[in-house]
Each structure stands twice: as C-alpha cells, then as structure tokens.
Amino acid sequence: MLYYLFNYLEQFDFPGARMFGYVSFRALMAVILSLLISSIFGEYFINLLKRKQITETQRDASIDPFNVNKIGVPTMGGIIIIVAILIPCLLLGKLHNIYMILMLITTIWLGTLGFLDDYIKVFRKDKEGLHGKFKIIGQVGLGFIVGMTLYLSPDVVIRENVEIQKNGEIVNVIHKADNQKSTKTTIPFFKNNNLDYADIVGFMGEHAQTAGWIVFVLITIFVVTAVSNGANLNDGMDGMTAGNSAIIGVTLGILAYVSSHIEYAGYLNIMYIPGSEELVIFICAFIGALIGFLWYNAFPAQVFMGDTGSLTIGGIIAVFAIIIHKELLIPILCGVFLVENLSVILQVKYFQSGKKKGLKRRVFKRAPIHDHFRTTIAQLDPSCTYLFTRPNSVFHESKITVRFWIVTIVLAAITIITLKIR
C-alpha cells in the first residue's frame, strides 16, 4: 500500500518517494519492519496466549533425558510469524504482482490449515489434531492452485539462457529477447542446466508441451506436500525450524535476486524471470519474521510455533522455490527436512515389516532423526531391537539445534555453488 502511495507522490517530487521504487530499499524495510513486528507484537501475543492458557499439550517427559521443564509453554506462536510476514508485504510490495499474490495465498492457506490443527489439539484436547487426510488434502489443494496458476497466468514467463560457444567452450551467456511460457527448470551439476519437463514426456509428440505442464503441476503438488511436512517434523526442538528456515530463506532470497536481474542471471547461466524481484521483498519479510520469532523461541522457548507456523514455513519455502524454477535444488537446500521425512518413513516401514514377522524392531532410537540424538540407551525398549544406537551419549537439544543449523548453512552454500559447478 505504501508502495502505491509513494509511487503516486513521486509525481509531486515528494521527498524520499523515489526510494520506494528500489527493490533494495523495500527489501531492507521489510526486514526491519518484520523484525519489529515479530519481536514487539510477539511479547504481547505470548502474554495473551498465557492468559488464555493456550499451551502445548505436555509431551512424554521421558523424551528429554535432561528433564527440561516445558509445562505451560504457549503454542500457536506461528501466528506471530504470519502477521510479521503479511504486514510488511502488504505495505511494501506490489500487490498486483502474480508472484507476490501466490506467496500471500500460500501464507494464509497453510496458516489456516495449521491453525485448525493446533485448535483441535489445544481446545479439543486431541493430541492427534487435524486428521492426516485433511492435511494432505489442504497441501495438495494448494499445490494444485499454485501449479495451475503458474500454468495459466500470462504474467508467469521466463527468458531462457542461451550459451554462446566458440571452439567448444562457452564464451558468453545471453537471454532470449522474448518472454515465454516454459516448463523448464534449473537442474544442478549438469552442463546443460535447464531441464524441460516436456522432454520427459517427449514420446507424446505434439502434446508433449501440454503433458509437460501436467508433470509440472504434479511435481508442484509433491514438493509443497513434502516440504511442508518436513518442516513440520523438524519442529521438535527450541529454535530448530525457525533457525533452519531463516538460513534457507536467505539462500532463496539470493537465488530470487539473481534470477530477477538479467546480468546476474547471465553470469550464473540461469534463466531470467521478469517480475520475480517482488519475491525478494517477501523473503526478506519471511527472514525478519523468523529471526524475530527466535527471540522468544530460542532455548528455553517462551513460545512454540505449532503447526500454524511449521506447515506455513514449509509451504512458503516450497512455493517460493517452484516460482523461481529452483525446485530441483530443494533436496540439497532443505536436506535437513528431507532427512527428517525419510527417518520417519524408514522408522514406520521397518517397524511395520517386523510386526508382520512377529518382531519388534526399529531403525533409530527415536524418529524424527533429531530425537535420536537426545535419547539414552536406558530409555530404549528392551524388547525391541535397533539398527542404530550410536551415539551412546546424548546431547542437549540446544546443541543439536545449533548443529542442525550448521548443517543447513553448509547445504545452503552447496546449493549456491551448484549453479557454477557443471
């Protein structure tokens, strides 16, 4: 809204109005504003949650060998994150930009889904929360909307990067002059770094392009569902998800920034995405909101984000990566979320296969994988066999959290480096 106001005032030579035309200025303002909102509003909201006794359902005390008392800690703190994202974006963003619209829809959609889950847990006293099938329906529905919007909107275009070669070596990278709809995405490590989903279904001949969009929509649905669930599973320790997601957000912000500048896109040999500069505003608000939330969520947590926050965070990361055509980088960038997902899947499938044979067995001491590192040997079921019991010693959750942050930083660096490793 402020963008439109100062854009109007610029014609009257209003002092400072021109600054709102610069992405860098609005991005920095978004960081500052989201930080202030999450840190200042956060304190009042936490006190409100305490007064209303909206607290986390007490977990099994045996999970934590250090006997950390977390009774009565407010939950649904993800509302703080959502508010701190929405307000700066509404004030500073171009609200007619299709990418900004999609990110706002994603935030509200998954925020609502997570809120319903937390509401059932807190007010209905049902630890299971919203039934799993309804979560999946909500995630699949969002993925379908995002995928179809990117397919149908005339504003969603790219300019493909073209390599100019001489004697078999790349001497320059240019971008086509015309904007075009495309099912291409960036693929890491390969010299020809654009993968066209239409090529996967090339056997369909003249219908390959249409089929390519179908593949794209299906991949969008899968990525949104997988990443939002991964972030949800990662939310098991103080500051874990907020810290990891802030690091991921910084990386995505860099990728969005270079994708929105034709010179930088040419240097990195990636496609140029007109209009994606508004995503920088959104991701800066996202980063600021998460860092501000860490003020209260770092160990010992004064508030938990709940599914309201974790589902929203994962969905935002997924949709953002899809919009900038970097969804194939997610397994690297969100490697922590991927491992959390896989650890739960392996644990469940291995246990079920053993149960059919009359055996009680597990892969890890506990799943998701972060709980494995804080579980002592004495806490294990003696009637159950475990494939992995190391390390024998346990770590405090704050140490586990910081080490997961470090892993995410390394993965973020690798993600960026892959754009030049071909």
User: What string of pLDDT tens digits covers the 422 residues of the chain?
Assistant: 787 887 778 777 788 778 888 899 999 999 999 999 999 999 999 999 988 888 875 555 566 666 566 777 899 999 999 999 999 999 999 999 999 999 999 999 999 999 999 999 888 888 788 998 999 999 999 999 999 999 999 999 999 887 777 766 665 777 887 889 999 998 887 766 788 999 999 888 888 999 999 999 999 999 999 999 999 999 989 999 999 999 999 999 999 999 999 888 888 888 899 999 999 999 999 999 999 999 999 998 999 999 999 999 999 999 999 999 999 999 999 999 999 999 999 999 999 999 999 999 999 999 999 999 999 888 899 999 999 999 888 899 999 999 999 999 999 999 999 887 76
Instruction: Tell me how far apart the alpha carbons of residues 247 and 287 are, in angstroms, rounded to a whole number.
Output: 8
In a domain, 414, yes or no: no
Residue 43 lies in a domain: yes
pLDDT attached to residue 152? 95
DSSP 368-385: SHHHHTT--GGGS-TTSE
Helix (H, G, I), strand (E, B), or coil: what is residue 279? helix
**Phi and psi (nearest 5°) for 25?**
-65, -45
Helix (H, G, I), strand (E, B) or coil at 181: coil
Is the residue at 144 inside a domain? yes
What pLDDT does residue 17 have?
Answer: 78
Q: Which residues contact 378 (CB under 8 A, 6 or more apart)?
A: none
Q: What angle do CA 45, 50, 52 make, to 5 degrees?
A: 95
2, 71, 365 from 368: Cα distances, Å:
43, 22, 10
Q: What DSSP state is assigned to residue 195?
A: E
**Residue 162: C-alpha distances to residues 166, 174, 265 (Å):** 13, 5, 11
- The alpha-helical segments, DSSP class H, found in 298-327 are 306-323
Q: Residue 74's beta-bridge partner residues?
A: 55
106 occurs within a structural domain = yes
Residue 294 near residue 242, CB atoms below 8 Å:
yes
Whether the ω angle into residue 274 lies within 30 degrees of 0, i.e. cis, is: no
Of 341, 414, 408, nearest to 188 by C-alpha is: 414
In 3D space, the residue among 290, 259, 255 whose CA is nearest the CA of residue 107 turns out to be: 290
User: Is the residue at 194 inside a domain?
Assistant: no
For residue 172, the surrounding DSSP H or E stretch is strand 169-175
- Report the C-alpha gap between 246 and 117 in whole angstroms: 23
pLDDT of residue 371: 93
The count of structural domains within the chain is 1
Write out the H or E segment, with its range, that includes residue 361: strand 361-362
Domain that holds residue 286: 23-159+199-331
Per-residue confidence (pLDDT) for residue 223, from 0 to 100: 97
Summary count for the chain: helices (H), strands (E) = 16, 6
Say what the pLDDT of residue 268 is.
Answer: 82
Which long-range contacts (C-beta less than 8 Å, at least 24 apart) are formed by 119-127?
121/57, 121/75, 121/306, 121/307, 122/54, 122/55, 122/57, 122/75, 122/76, 125/57, 127/57
In a domain? residue 181 = no
Q: Are the beta carbons of 231 and 337 closer than 8 angstroms?
A: yes
In sequence order, the β-bridge partners of residue 22 are none
Is 279 part of a structural domain of the chain?
yes
Q: Which residue has the tokens 């703190």?
A: 77
State the Cα–Cα distance between residues 132 and 139, nearest whole angstrom. Answer: 11
> 367 in a domain, yes or no?
no
Distance from C-alpha of 14 to C-alpha of 416, rounded to nearest angstrom:
40
